[in-house]
A and B are shown apart, each in its own frame.
Chain A
């Protein structure tokens, strides 16, 4: 009786382990799909003004908006991509043209633009970023600061070719 129970238990354990190995083996190819494109965030395009000029910095600066731009699939960094940035800051509203500016990514696909301190507006301290140059699908981001006393904010783009 005892022996037969042990035998069954052993069989179940061995069978289960085998099944788990097989299942995990079958799941592996799913990881090879590659980097998924970043979807636009809700409200990301609010108060967007097309054609923000490329600037050294927005207003007096003191706050850093940075991030990366990569290609969907292989994740290759994209150089020379124009990213537009705007926010409600100590120097103006989101809709004010002087609150808007743009910058280009460097050879590593990294962008970094100094701007005035972002202050909470409409209940959250947040910024807006846009990619809409046409080579890749348009993406609008709306990252939220963890704390309104932060002096920097990051946003990352993974773009899908059109």
Chain B
């Protein structure tokens, strides 16, 4: 019974990530894009999938990955997330430099691009805090609040960014993935009381 539950959780997670990627791979828009532009789009989807994994790993919700081990994987996925965001922006830059320059300078006409730019700087900030955790020597509570705040901004802005875009992602699978990303983030924040000065850790 326990094994069945574990298999079910992993299967559900696999589907939550695989279905939107498969749906995007079937997008008719791909016919009119070259490989660099297509790769940039999929890097964005991989980044969104990473945003779903991160809170699940921190909360130790995934079978076989309790919190302690989950956090090691959380760090690795954090690296994947940053790399995916860099590839996303770099691929779009190669495809149309002036459009990406407009986004980075917050003067783009598209309403979703500012959200994407803010999410990018927030995720870079969260990753930088993680990389410099030892060196910075800030109090663990302050570190956790800072990392949590930047992660929350990343999640919120990434979801708005993705939902406003008309691109290769299929709309229903995109909305479901976004809802799961927000749900996972809210659940771990509530369970671990991530906003508290002294969090009560789950047993």
Contact = CB atoms under 8 A, between A and B. Distances in A.
Given A43-B108, A43-B109, A120 B99 contact: no
A95 B96 CA distance: 8
B102 A120 contact: no
Given A88-B32, A90-B32, A122 B164 contact: no
Nearest to A46: B98
B32 A123 contact: no
B32 A89 contact: yes
Contact of B102 (A46, A88, A121): A46
Interface in B60-110: 92, 95-96, 98-99, 102, 107-110
B29 A123 contact: no
Interface residues of B, number: 20
Contacts of B112: 123
Given A46-B99, A46-B102, A89-B32, A120 B166 contact: yes
Interface in B102-123: 102, 107-110, 112-113
Given A47-B98, A90-B32, A125 B166 contact: yes
Contacts of B166: 120, 123-125, 148
Given A42-B102, A46-B102, A123 B96 contact: no
B9 interface: no
Contact of A120 (B29, B92, B98): B29
A88 B34 CA distance: 12
Contacts of B165: 123
16 contacts: A41-B109, A42-B108, A43-B107, A44-B109, A46-B96, A46-B98, A46-B102, A47-B96, A93-B34, A94-B96, A95-B96, A122-B96, A122-B99, A123-B113, A123-B167, A125-B166
